[in-house]
Amino acid sequence: MDAIRDRTLVGSSDLDLDAVKRPSREEAMEAVRTLIAWAGDDPRREGVIDTPKRVVDAYGEWFAGYTLDPAKELSRTFEDVQGYDDIVMLREIEVESHCEHHMAPFLGKAYVAYMPTNRVVGISKLAKVVEIFAKRLQTQETMTQQIADAITDSLRPAGVAVLIDANHQCMSTRGVHHRHVSTITTQFTGVFKTDPTLRQRFLDFANKK
């Protein structure tokens, strides 16, 4: 892939992503060697000589979301719902992501629901959409919005609800060094936004032990 081309990123309309040339694997490894040296270590030392390769491999896994399309995951839907007209919800979806400000991990859980109209999607696809956006650099706020938008655009449901609860290592391991602090973000659309009773049901389900 010669250039990073991702049209699904929210807030990227002012960037010419086609002009961003993706470095080669060797260039990426050389960048890691530079960071090792900047940290004060010798990148030729036995203990870290293979670190650039491992870091690049890890980045390929952590940021695989740039090569995946959430709309494609949500494209196969089922219209035979036999009259079902209530919440479809997934609880405690694992979130493993990295903040765009420090590239530090943030880890937590996502709770995603939608109110179907005339079609539903395989439940694993909702978890896959969370994973796709998590495997990119962004803020938790942006990711929450992206998940809601992707489900809304593909399924056209009566409403979408998303809650993410995560711990940010850019806050716990640097800066203010406050541990055990979680960040909660929410996004409600359609009936989840206009109907407080329905919204509360979602929150009750999310808090259910």
Q: How does 186-207 read in b/e, with b if 16+ C-beta sit within 10 Å?
A: bbbbbbbeeeeebbebbbeebe
Q: Which residue has the tokens 């929150």?
A: 203
Q: Annotated catalytic residue: which of 138, 140, 145, 146?
A: 140
Q: Which residue has the tokens 């695989």?
A: 64
Q: Is 102 tagged catalytic?
A: yes
Q: Annotated catalytic residue: which of 26, 30, 92, 101?
A: 101
Backbone phi and psi for residue 105, each to the nearest 5 degrees, phi listed first = -70, 150
Q: Annotated catalytic residue: which of 30, 92, 100, 141?
A: 100
Helix (H) or strand (E) holding 68: none
Structure token digits, residue 141? 């706020």
Q: Is 100 tagged catalytic?
A: yes
Q: Is 140 tagged catalytic?
A: yes
The 10 Å Cβ neighbour count of residue 32 is 18
Structure token digits, residue 157? 């449901």
Q: Annotated catalytic residue: which of 99, 131, 138, 146?
A: 99
Helices (H), 63-121: 70-73
CA 184 – CA 197 distance, rounded (Å)? 20
Q: Is 168 tagged catalytic?
A: yes
∠ at Cα 198 (152, 80), nearest 5°? 55
- Residues with a catalytic annotation lie at 99-102, 140, 168, 170
